[in-house]
Structure 1
Amino acid sequence: MAGKWSPPANCSERPVCVLGGGVLGRRIAACFVAAGYHVRIRDPSAKSRDAAAQYIKENLSSFTAILPQPAKRQGSCETTDDLAAAVKDCWIVFEAVPEVLPIKESTFADLEQHAPPDCLLATNSSSFKSGDLLSKVKDVTKARVLNTHYMMPPQNVIVELMTSGHTDPEIFPFVEARHREAGLHPVTALKESSGFIFNRIWAAIKRECLSVLAEGVSTPEVIDSIWKEQYGSRVGPCEMMDSVGLDTVEHIEQHYVDERGLSPKPLQWLQNNFIKQGKLGQKSDEGGLYPPPTPGKRTKLIFLNTGLSEPLGDKPMAQIMKRGQILQMIAEDRASRPIALVENQALPDGIDVCDGRMYWTCMGIPAENDGTVQSAKLDGSDIKTVIPSGQVHTPKQLHIDQVSKKLYFCDREGLRVMRCNLDGSEHEVIVQTGDWKSEPDKAKVQHNWPVGITVSRKLNKFMWTQKGGSKASDGWIYSAGLEMPQGSTASNRQDIEVIQKGLPECIDLEMEDDSGVLYWSDRGELPLGNTLNKKQIIGEAPAAEKALGRQIIAQGLGEGIGLKFDRAENCLYVADMAGRLWKCNPDGGLKEKIFEGATHAYTGLSFVKV
């Protein structure tokens, strides 16, 4: 049949269909929504349909971030339980139903009847050859059937393509090109095989891990820790099995046992100890190889992406400057990716959390006087303006005093340090380094620019940074009393003290009153910049501070910005402009990378326990 196949007509205008709204089906759908297609998800379960639609809504930014260039149009998604309606007019259908042979065979028979005659029919089966699924379809249909085995996009973007034994070979270059447009990395197997290139290798790893566990040789925690240290991986094999679902692992392993005559002992152990008890992994309240997380023990990071590192495309600058996001992810879940809570923000920079709401600053366009302070519930709903445009110039880092319920924030080009109540009332200037309206020369001097801020209740002071010029070693950290001295103004208060000067380019601050230590990020020049620093403010300074007047506890940040101290974990979380999240030890040592977003640029950061 080679040479007789023609691509589906007008495929760029036609829908894509995904059969199955489960863990992987919804991810496949998200890839093509991000690429600008209208995607229909068909699933007989209303719960699965709703969960799939919600997943795409919350995670779409993670999929658009992997595109090689912005989509020409905005994609969309709908869900249905009607197969015929789902596949109508589609140019490709991805089957992602359970790994059960009779279900898949019936599915392809239905697709032959209801899908357009030029529609490509793809199975995401990770264990069955597509040829095994075609006993109920005609030979002419078999020529447009292929395997498209996805890993776990968006964090794993490889897609393995394979013939059904009948697939027209000219289909593969076409399908590869469509996947590359969606930011995926397609690889075509040279021949048909039970299991794909990586899947066969991964299946052996899974089986041996299960054998080690079944024989009592080790635990999931130890297996994963060895794997991650040995290979520098963010996630271990037991965590990966919990992530994909132990029921899915069971289906795949059962097929390999049946087809290859492998020992059933590891599979039987999994079935008896987990599957039969409803322990299916992360999607189960019962947990899986790992127990379900204890409420209040996990750390939900809430952090800001400016959007400035995404591909520019042909969008106007005004639109590019409003691509900021508020993202969230669980720090302990290394298999997860950030979820967007709020989008279309104008250069968000500082964020903190109080009483079930998050508060953040938007710098706006730095040359304009259009900054704002916003708030929302922790799920991103109920957005409110706290400080409207025109009342703050370029708001930067933000800190909430949890005792007084006051917002403290710096106004960089506005040359001011400000505070207000959580509702924006009692908005006042508490430090002013110049008047940007009447003293334009002062406004141009970056030494006068306030940036980061924190509060010490023990000292009854607030502290802030004035970063100085880029890489200029003219950064200063100051402090002043929470109460304005009698007879003083924001411009002439006499209680301002210098904590540190001559810093490369100090940014955000975090005061830990219990230990009396001040922490800050510095995005200045190496070797003293791009660092996380600490200084003993209360009590005797340690010997480690003698040389520099401070201690560098982490290096190699990609222009570190936001930081937050986690007392329960005794660690510091740091976000940097290179799109990375770090977990750092307050006493120094190796930092741990939690996540890296290749097209992200992170600024402010906070967290809540869940």
Structure 2
Amino acid sequence: MASQWSAPANYENRPICILGGGVLGRRIAACFVAAGHHVRIRDPSAKSRDDAVKYIKENLSSFLSLLPKQPERQGSYDAHEDLAAAVKDCWLVFEAVPEILPLKESTFADLERYAPKDCILATNSSSFKSGELLSRVKDETKARVLNTHFMMPPQAIIVELMTSGHTTPEIFPFVEMRMREAGLHPVTALKESSGFIFNRIWAAIKREVLAVLAEGVSTPDVVDGIWKEQYNSLIGPCEMMGSSVGSTPHSVGLDTVEHIEQHYVDERGLPTSSLAWLRENFIKAGKLGLKSDKGGLYDPPTPGSRTKILFLNLGLGEPFGDKSISEVMKSGEILEITAEDRASKPVALVRNQALPDGIDVCDGRMYWTNMGNPNENDGTVLSANLDGSDIQTIIPSGHVHTPKQTHIDQTAKKLYFCDREGLRVMRSNLDGSEHETLVQTGDWRSEPDKAQVQHNWPVGITVSRKLNKFMWTQKGGSKASDGWIFSASLDMPQGSTASDRKDIEVLQKGLPECIDLEMDDDSGVLYWTDRGELPLGNTLNKKQMIGEPPAGEKHLGRQIIAQGLGEGIGLKFDRARNCVYVADMAGRLWKCDPNGGLKEKIYEGPTHVYTGLTFVKY
């Protein structure tokens, strides 16, 4: 007989509930808040509730970036201690409580009692089949129960769906559609199975890795290193089990690993020696991985040893679709990625920017330029907290034409930036006050011919406190080998103006198309990116500015330390890791050796166009 199941009545206007505000529960909640739903988080722990609400508030922009299209309404969320109040009126409940069978069985008995009779009940269990959790519920309830096993959004967006053995088949396409609306990738198992699809394969790998470690055959770093090299993987199995190295999207914590492994031991009669080793050496000591401050299979990272790269996507690489030109020109983003975590994906901190180009950080805030329409005097300089909140306008539209790279003098708390079509090099305080022009190569309002000559366009800028100078590029025409790098004193010479100052020096000329600059005062080295044509263009370069120039500068007056960039733009030197991060317009982030050699790709966004970048340590 045909099923009579129908979608929960008025589900669009009813809440979703997440039972469990832990590492994964709060991420599931954020997925559906982003998709425009009202989400309730239920957890008996006040700390877990508070942490879950804080997580959603601070990370919602990352989940919004997953969506295939913007929702028609804004999502909302709150937290509850009482289960009955939390599930009242809900059309969908996700259970994400610890992997303990009696706890999950009692949870579903409570859901049958308190949730609406048309509510879909889902478990996020990674080891239990949903059918194993239903010993205390009626048959009609079993028909609306299924597994929805989330990986770790927003970085890992697969969700495995599976029947309870009783689930009404029509539920699956309905739930799959709701998952896609939240930017997730649903995959439905063809039959009921302990451990789903991926987890059955992963469980065998995980079990043998623990045995290798427990028996003293090898160490976590060697195991992960072999795995990464052999399979060209960005992440190793020890990192996936909740290590403290790399904020990996799959890290679940060693306590969760313990619960899952115990279930497999009970169900399949597997050996217990590795599980006993894990409990004795890690679980009892509270060494759970990322979710604790005691480390896990790896020691915990020391503060300041990790790097978040902040970089700008112009937003011009996506298909236009039904967007107007105006909308496309305002689809830029500030993205963030963890440099040490090679499996991570960038998250959007700020969206809807008008061609962002330069970015820098000072005292817990980021500052960036928006070029706006290059044909209009409508550029802006803005700032925000490092999580993208509290956006403020520093230099408003009409006061800068086309602002490009920005650099902050961390000592003087001064913001330097170039104004390309405005033909100016400028400076201000961090709040936008004392906005002044330092160099003027022409007047775009009264000298239109000068404004059209790219040789006059200032683009990149940096500061050397040791030399008491700022340096800037004038890129020249596209692939014209007419790029220049200049310098001038931080202090305007007496009697000079921005258009006639006499202290300007030429540092380099005849460059393919020099763009952004970075000065490392400690080594006395100036770095820059060059667009233009190979072999001298599409490169990362350096020049010794303090001390004797090395022999490598003999022929070109500079050294080319990386080649093959796709229109390189932003760069930043990281002294702690002795590398230069570079972004290019082909949508790639690179890690380059300042002494030359092979560059290493950190990330590639196939539809992205990257400009400026910077980083923060944490």
Given the two structures, how large is their TM-score scaled by the length of structure 1? Answer: 0.92
Deviations 1:448-483 (A, max 9, x none): 221110122333322111223444544332222333
Measured in 2, the distance between the counterparts of 1:377 and 1:43 equals 30
Summarize the alignment of residues 331-480 of structure 1 with structure 2, pairs less than 5 Å apart.
Answer: 331-334=339-342, 336-338=344-346, 341-342=349-350, 345-378=353-386, 380=388, 383-480=391-488
Measured in 1, the distance between the counterparts of 2:509 and 2:311 equals 28
Measured in 2, the distance between the counterparts of 1:370 and 1:414 equals 11
1:552 — aligned with what? 560
Alignment of 1:606 with 2:614, yes or no, is: yes
Kept in 2: contact 1:341–1:379 (CA 8 A): yes
Larger deviation, residues 214-223 vs 325-334:
325-334
Measured in 1, the distance between the counterparts of 2:14 and 2:195 equals 31
**Secondary structure of 1:162's partner?**
strand
Alignment of 1:184 with 2:192, yes or no, is: no
Summarize the alignment of residues 458-607 of structure 1 with structure 2, pairs less than 5 Å apart.
Answer: 458-526=466-534, 528-546=536-554, 548-597=556-605, 600-607=608-615
**Secondary structure of 1:23's partner?**
coil
Measured in 1, the distance between the counterparts of 2:100 and 2:60 equals 29
Kept in 1: contact 2:61–2:350 (CA 8 A): no
Kept in 2: contact 1:69–1:311 (CA 8 A): no
Measured in 2, the distance between the counterparts of 1:530 and 1:543 equals 23
Kept in 2: contact 1:2–1:168 (CA 8 A): no
Measured in 1, the distance between the counterparts of 2:409 and 2:51 equals 37
Measured in 2, the distance between the counterparts of 1:80 and 1:315 equals 40
Measured in 2, the distance between the counterparts of 1:2 and 1:193 equals 25
Kept in 1: contact 2:454–2:476 (CA 8 A): yes
Relative to 1, partners in 2 of residues 1:578 and 1:272: Cα closer, same or farther, differing over 3 Å?
Answer: farther
2:279 — aligned with what? 271
Deviations 1:14-69 (A, max 9, x none): 33322212111122222222333232222222222222222223222322323333
Shift of 1:91: 2.8
Kept in 2: contact 1:411–1:451 (CA 8 A): yes
Kept in 1: contact 2:62–2:349 (CA 8 A): no
Larger deviation, residues 410-419 vs 439-448:
439-448
1:28 — aligned with what? 28
Kept in 2: contact 1:65–1:310 (CA 8 A): no
1:133 — aligned with what? 133
Measured in 2, the distance between the counterparts of 1:12 and 1:483 equals 62
Note the residue ranges of structure 1 that are not aligned, 5 or more in a row.
Answer: none
**Secondary structure of 2:303's partner?**
coil
Kept in 1: contact 2:571–2:581 (CA 8 A): yes
Measured in 1, the distance between the counterparts of 2:604 and 2:255 equals 30
**Secondary structure of 1:151's partner?**
strand
Note the residue ranges of structure 2 that are not aligned, 5 or more in a row.
Answer: 243-250
Shift of 1:249: 0.7
- 2:135 aligned partner, one-letter code: S
1:299 — aligned with what? 307
Kept in 2: contact 1:518–1:535 (CA 8 A): yes
Measured in 2, the distance between the counterparts of 1:336 and 1:165 equals 35
Measured in 2, the distance between the counterparts of 1:80 and 1:143 equals 27
2:113 — aligned with what? 113
Deviations 1:199-238 (A, max 9, x none): 0111111111111111222221222222222223222211
**Secondary structure of 2:24's partner?**
helix
Shift of 1:330: 3.9
Deviations 1:536-577 (A, max 9, x none): 334444454455543332334444322111222211122334
Shift of 1:198: 0.7
Measured in 1, the distance between the counterparts of 2:532 and 2:8 equals 54
Measured in 2, the distance between the counterparts of 1:131 and 1:104 equals 11
**Secondary structure of 1:158's partner?**
strand
* Number of residues of Structure 1 aligned to a counterpart in Structure 2: 610
Relative to 1, partners in 2 of residues 1:523 and 1:258: Cα closer, same or farther, differing over 3 Å?
Answer: farther
Give identity over the alignment, percent.
81
Measured in 2, the distance between the counterparts of 1:280 and 1:161 equals 28
1:96 — aligned with what? 96
Relative to 1, partners in 2 of residues 1:12 and 1:602: Cα closer, same or farther, differing over 3 Å?
Answer: farther
Shift of 1:418: 0.9
Kept in 2: contact 1:306–1:324 (CA 8 A): yes
Partner of residue 261 from structure 1, selected from 269, 277, 287 = 269
Shift of 1:341: 5.0
Kept in 2: contact 1:59–1:338 (CA 8 A): no
Kept in 1: contact 2:235–2:342 (CA 8 A): yes
Shift of 1:172: 2.0
Summarize the alignment of residues 42-81 of structure 1 with structure 2, pairs less than 5 Å apart.
Answer: 42-81=42-81
Shift of 1:381: 5.5
Measured in 2, the distance between the counterparts of 1:2 and 1:527 equals 69
Relative to 1, partners in 2 of residues 1:47 and 1:469: Cα closer, same or farther, differing over 3 Å?
Answer: farther
**Secondary structure of 1:199's partner?**
helix
Measured in 2, the distance between the counterparts of 1:492 and 1:181 equals 59
Relative to 1, partners in 2 of residues 1:271 and 1:474: Cα closer, same or farther, differing over 3 Å?
Answer: same
Kept in 1: contact 2:377–2:401 (CA 8 A): yes
**Secondary structure of 2:33's partner?**
helix
Larger deviation, residues 16-25 vs 540-549:
540-549
2:246 — aligned with what? none
Larger deviation, residues 577-586 vs 110-119:
577-586
2:248 — aligned with what? none
1:157 — aligned with what? 157
Kept in 2: contact 1:62–1:337 (CA 8 A): no
Relative to 1, partners in 2 of residues 1:166 and 1:555: Cα closer, same or farther, differing over 3 Å?
Answer: farther
Kept in 1: contact 2:68–2:183 (CA 8 A): yes
- 1:253 aligned partner, one-letter code: E
